[in-house]
Amino acid sequence: MKLKNFFLMLMFVFAALSVSVQASEHAQEKVTQEQAAQESTYEPKGIGHMLASFYGTTGLKAILEPHEGVTNGEGEEMSLFAQGWGRVMMFAIIFLLFYLAIAKGFEPLLLLPIAFGGLLANIPIANMTSEHGMLGIIYNMGIANEFFPLLIFMGVGAMTDFGPLLSRPKTALLGGAAQFGIFGSLVGAAALSQYTGMVDFTLKQCSAISIIGGADGPTSIFIASALAPELLGAIAVAAYSYMALVPVIQPPIMRALTSKEERQIVMKTTRKVNKLEKLLFPLVVIVMTLLILPDATPLIGAFAFGNFAKESGVVDRLSNEMQNSLINIVTIFLGLGVGSKLASDKFLVMETLGIMIIGLLAFAAGTAAGVLMAKLMNKYSDEPINPLIGAAGVSAVPMAARVVSKVGSEEKPGNILLMHAMGPNVAGVIGSAVAAGVLLSIFK
């Protein structure tokens, strides 16, 4: 019996061998044909000539001697400036981003991949951003179709704990007030292009820029790729750099708008939240989205799914995956893909400067509106509310809440506001997703 099996096996092996031999003969024939074809076009050259023609293919020449007719990844012609000095300037900007990410710790998880993607995108001749280049493939795979930001949102949902919000529901309104940063800067962007003539933004572009005020990276990228993909690079860089600058931008505004007594307010400890409440919350949010703003479903749906998976407690494997491996993989792709928009011909334009200014304005306006709203609530509420927690209404989870807590404990040591600030903070994520849905619904 065993012998029979052995022979059968041998026969199979021989059969397979003979097939592969035939195949390789076939392949060899092909190769010789190709060689013949190549030899007919290749002409022998002197070494000097070869060196000269090799220099023609170097990046050094492409940067030093820009010439007409060079196209970028999308097949558009690049200006001489963008080919030469533009690239050099971009390299400088990218090294600045590296410095900020590595030495200063500015959102390194995203700024580093974005900056490296920008570095690759600015390499001449290689055409990394073209349809068949690595960056182009990544971009088309998940950013052009707005897919990656949603996966990130899913992971963020799986990491978010709505407990602090559920224990004091009305702080959700602070997360709404801070969205004034989005709409205020929308007006700012419109005014900038209508009155100064420095830039010429369309309404769609204004909306895409203003979403920086939501202080939410994935939402910004989602909206930018839907409304104004040509501005994506600058918007993403502005959003992430300002998010990293939250500890610098927010405290002065928070101090300017509040009195010392207000900042020293101690808030009551929050009640314990029932597990069932946490489990039902994502479903409540989904039902509301479905009734009021279906356009926000992609963002809120992904977010709610992640959160539901976490709170259900029965699919820890899935929710751990979303919080760790999945979000890490997508972060790599998202960073590199966004970086592909840092090519010199796209980034070194007046619009980028405008976006940087409006982005800063947006962050400041959002913080101010949140703080003012919290002051108002403190006046009319039966329990004391520290106005500082309003600043956490801009999403930027959990950075904004940490900043609030830090400022609070500086004013009054031992006054820990972190958990109180987390409520408006996570409400801010929902608020900015809703604001994004409104903007999308307008341009439908």
**Residues engaged in binding other proteins (CB under 8 A):** 165-166, 169-170, 172-173, 175-176, 179-180, 182-184, 186-187, 189-191, 193-195, 201, 203, 206-207, 273-277, 280-281, 284-285, 288, 292-293, 427, 430-431, 434-435, 438-439, 442
Q: Which is nearer to other proteins, 111 or 434 (CB)?
A: 434
71 pairs with which residues across the strands?
77
From the number of C-beta atoms within 10 Å of its C-beta (0-12, 13-18, 19+), residue 147 rates as: middle
- Shortest reach from residue 20's CB to other proteins, in Å: 50
- Shortest reach from residue 175's CB to other proteins, in Å: 7
| DSSP assigned state of 77 | B
Q: Which is nearer to other proteins, 166 or 364 (CB)?
A: 166
Q: Which is nearer to other proteins, 118 or 175 (CB)?
A: 175
Q: Which is nearer to other proteins, 124 or 181 (CB)?
A: 181
Residue 134 is which amino acid? M
Q: Which is nearer to other proteins, 241 or 378 (CB)?
A: 378
- Shortest reach from residue 291's CB to other proteins, in Å: 9
Phi-psi group of 146: left, alpha or beta (phi > 0 → left; psi -120 to 50 → alpha; rest → beta):
left
Contact 444, 415 (CB under 8 A): no
- What is the three-class DSSP state of 431? helix
- Shortest reach from residue 223's CB to other proteins, in Å: 12
From the number of C-beta atoms within 10 Å of its C-beta (0-12, 13-18, 19+), residue 270 rates as: middle
Contact 172, 427 (CB under 8 A): yes
CA torsion 248→254→255→260, rounded to 10°? -140
CA neighbours closer than 13 Å in the CB half-sphere of residue 408: 26
- Shortest reach from residue 169's CB to other proteins, in Å: 4
Contacts of 328 (CB under 8 A, 6+ apart): none
- Shortest reach from residue 286's CB to other proteins, in Å: 11
Q: Which is nearer to other proteins, 174 or 243 (CB)?
A: 174
Contacts of 277 (CB under 8 A, 6+ apart): 166
- Shortest reach from residue 427's CB to other proteins, in Å: 6
Q: Which is nearer to other proteins, 67 or 275 (CB)?
A: 275
231 pairs with which residues across the strands?
none
Q: Which is nearer to other proteins, 175 or 408 (CB)?
A: 175
- Shortest reach from residue 438's CB to other proteins, in Å: 5
Q: Which is nearer to other proteins, 116 or 308 (CB)?
A: 308
DSSP labels, 361-390: HHHHHHHHHHHHHHHHHHHH-SS---GGGG
- Shortest reach from residue 232's CB to other proteins, in Å: 21
The two structure tokens encoding residue 423: 């409520």
Alpha carbons 26 and 20: distance in angstroms, whole number: 10
